[in-house]
């Protein structure tokens, strides 16, 4: 186990979340599960999503996620952004703004193309600010629109 591992407290959807996450992100696996009774639902689990190890627990309605914690997905290009976005939406996720999307279990994800990070790191503040202004108008990232804002600044 890693020295520090994110621990996600679900209401009662841990099993469904693990199935969705491990099917959606390469480099994922279920490592251990504990069930309530021999054939009961999963109560806790250790799993890997996209190479990141997590612990999860069905803690009941007392627990809920907030945007104060989100999972950042590093996407190589627009095609990868579109792929993850589409899979999340198809599963019932709710798009919010600026590349953020809340999955059906209440967890927020940031689906971000590498090009965005490169463009906002431009030492020319006019260019980086133009990219940031363009991003703030987006729901899902649009790499071509970000590049256009950068080029025209």
pLDDT digits (tens, 9 = 90+) for 89-101: 999 999 999 999 9
- pLDDT mean over 146-151: 98
Farthest-apart Cα atoms in the chain, separation:
62
Task: Return left, alpha or beta for 27; rule: phi > 0 is left, psi -120 to 50 is alpha, else beta.
Answer: left
What the block records as the tokens of 108 is 């927020």
53-92: per-residue pLDDT in tens? Answer: 999 999 988 999 999 999 999 999 999 999 999 999 999 9
Which DSSP string corresponds to 92-139? T-EE-STTEEE-TTS-EEEEEEHHHHHHHT-S-HHHHHHHHHHHHT-S
Would the pTM count as exceeding 0.85? yes
Which uninterrupted H or E stretch holds 66? none
Mean pLDDT, the chain, integer: 96
pLDDT band at 2 (very low <50, low <70, confident <90, very high): confident
Q: Give pLDDT, residue 37.
A: 83
Q: Give pLDDT, residue 15.
A: 95
Q: Give pLDDT, residue 1.
A: 67
């Amino acid at each position: 186990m890693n020295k520090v591992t994110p621990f996600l407290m679900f209401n009662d959807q841990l099993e469904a979340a693990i199935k969705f996450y491990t099917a959606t992100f390469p480099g994922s696996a279920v490592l251990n599960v504990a069930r309530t009774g021999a054939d009961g639902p999963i109560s806790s689990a250790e799993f890997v999503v996209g190479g990141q190890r997590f612990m999860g627990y069905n803690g009941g309605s007392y627990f809920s996620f907030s945007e104060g914690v989100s999972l950042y997905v590093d996407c190589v290009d627009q095609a990868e952004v579109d792929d993850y976005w589409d899979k999340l939406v198809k599963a019932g996720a709710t798009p919010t703004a600026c590349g953020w999307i809340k999955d059906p279990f209440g967890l927020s994800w940031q689906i971000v193309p590498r090009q965005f990070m490169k463009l906002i790191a431009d030492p020319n503040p006019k260019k980086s600010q133009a990219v940031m202004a363009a991003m703030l108008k987006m729901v899902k990232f649009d790499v071509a629109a970000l590049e256009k804002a950068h080029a025209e600044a």
